[in-house]
Structure 1
Amino acid sequence: MIEQHFHRITDMPRKSPPNLGSMAYLRLLNLVGAIQRGQPALDPIEERLLNRMATAWHRGERVSVTEAMETQEGLAPATVHRRLKRLRDKGLIILATDEHDQRVRYIEPTPQSVRYFAELDACLQQVRSD
């Protein structure tokens, strides 16, 4: 009985893989996955916050903890604050005190986060050149 079932399965025509168009995106996902395996694991909220910070840093902007807590659509300020502390604990951000107002803290990159985004950029450049 099992042998009959097995033969029916092996005799079935094989389907060709779906056409996914350009494989560049899949190569990028593989490269990014390799980089992320060498980094502390991030949950989706932490990744979203870190990407938001990277965008601001790239534009030369400073983002305060208060601004981050107020501008994350769909997230409670307490959730944002907890995730910022986790990013700090993972070594991906530092919280720097404003030199004129000790109550204000800015979110700044660490060498580890700068390296992480540089590696992501290198992945993108590699996929573009392939």
Structure 2
Amino acid sequence: MSRKPKPDPGSLAYLKLLNLVDSIKRSQPALDPLEERLLNRMAMAWHKGEKVTVTQAMEGGDGVAPATVHRRLKQLRAKGLVALVADANDTRVRFIEPTDEALHYFNALDDCLRRLDRA
């Protein structure tokens, strides 16, 4: 009787990344997949120095209804990860900005990648 080889779940670096990210996520407010996707999309814009309005986020083109995006933005705000700031010239326009909690989350993820790079 021959033994089946064990399936290879991936590289050791990938498994380390999964464990590190999981530990970071456990220390943060739980995000559903859409909240995480919105936060990541805004993080990319913020990294480029772009300002993101609520309207822009709702029109993101991800195939998600604007009302659904708006609800998820409210949830991200309630979880302390984003803040809405009125435009100085037009108070009807609200910009989505990262909070200190969001910046801490992004820095922790960045730290994970740096640890893996050194490994």
Q: Shared fold (TM-score greater than 0.5)?
A: yes
Aligned-pair CA distance for 1:17: 2.8
Determine whether 1:126 maps to 2:99.
no
Amino acid of the structure 2 residue aligned with 1:99: A
One-letter code aligned to 1:80: V
CA deviations 1:61-90 (Å, max 9, x no partner) are 000000000014110000000000000000
Change (3 A) 1:35 1:13: farther
State whether structure 2 residue 32 is matched by structure 1 residue 43.
yes
Equivalenced residues, count: 119
Contact 1:65 1:107 in 2 (8 A): yes
- Residue 20 of structure 1 and its aligned partner are, at CA, apart by 3.8
User: Structure 1 length normalisation: TM-score?
Assistant: 0.86
Any gaps of 5 or more consecutive residues in structure 2? none
> Equivalent residue for 1:26?
15
Q: Is the 8 A contact 1:28 1:124 kept in 2?
A: yes
Q: CA RMSD in A?
A: 1.5
Identity of aligned residues (%): 62
Are 2:95 and 1:106 equivalent residues in the alignment?
Answer: yes
Larger radius of gyration: 1
Tell me the SS of whatever aligns to 1:75. coil
Counterpart Cα distance in 2 of 1:98 and 1:52: 21
Distance 2:59 2:32 in 1: 20
Aligned to 2:56: 67
1:113 match: secondary structure? helix
**Partner SS state of residue 59, structure 2:** helix
Select 1:56's aligned residue among 39, 45, 53: 45
Is the 1:97–1:104 Cα contact (8 Å) retained in structure 2?
yes
